[in-house]
Amino acid sequence: MGDNPTEKNSSRTIEQLIWSWVVVGTIIIFILGAGISFMTSNHPIMADLFFTLGAGLFLSKFLTWELSKQHKKRIKIYVITIGITSIALTVSICDNHYLNPAQLTQKGEQVEISKQPASKERVADALNKPDTIPKESPPKVPPVQQKPQLSLSPPAKPTKRIPQAESSVKETSPLYSPNFKEPLIAKLPPTQSIPQPPKESMADVGLYFVYPKSPVLMIENLSDSLVRDIKWTVQVWNMDLPDRNDSLPIPIQTFDWVKGHDQGGPLGIFNSPLVSPLLKDGNRLFGSASVDCPTCTRGRTYIVYIVWGQGGWYSELENEKDGRIIVPKNALRDGREAYFKALEVMIPEINRLPIKEQ
User: Are the beta carbons of 319 and 127 closer than 8 angstroms?
Assistant: yes
Q: Looking at 99, 117, 136, which one is the last position of a domain?
A: 99
Does the residue 185 lie in any domain? no
Does the residue 152 lie in any domain? no
Q: Per mean pLDDT, which range of 29-38, 135-144, 348-357 is the poorest?
A: 135-144
* Sequential DSSP letters for 280-301: -TT-EEEEEEEEE-TTBS--EE
Does the residue 195 lie in any domain? no
Instruction: Answer yes or no: do 334 and 211 share one domain.
Output: yes
* CA atoms lying within 13 Å on the CB side of residue 311: 8
User: Are the beta carbons of 50 and 38 closer than 8 angstroms?
Assistant: yes
Q: Looking at 68, 99, 130, which one is the last position of a domain?
A: 99
* Sequential DSSP letters for 41-71: TT-HHHHHHHHHHHHHHHHHHHHT-HHHHH-
Instruction: Answer yes or no: do 93 and 223 share one domain.
Output: no
- Domain of 290: which CATH number? 2.60.40.10
Does the residue 115 lie in any domain? no
**More reliable by pLDDT, 274 or 162:** 274
Q: pLDDT band at residue 236, thresholds of 50, 70 and 90?
A: very high
Does the residue 178 lie in any domain? no
Q: Looking at 50, 69, 99, which one is the last position of a domain?
A: 99
Full residue range of the structural domain in which residue 336 is found: 205-354
- Give the pLDDT confidence of 57-82 residue by residue, as tens digits: 887 877 777 677 667 777 778 788 88
Instruction: Answer yes or no: do 223 and 95 share one domain.
Output: no
Does the residue 217 lie in any domain? yes
Instruction: Answer yes or no: do 221 and 350 share one domain.
Output: yes
Q: How many domains does the chain have?
A: 2
Instruction: Answer yes or no: do 227 and 347 share one domain.
Output: yes
Helix, strand or coil, per DSSP, at residue 326: strand
Does the residue 123 lie in any domain? no
The pLDDT assigned to 283 comes to 95
User: Are the beta carbons of 204 and 298 closer than 8 angstroms?
Assistant: yes
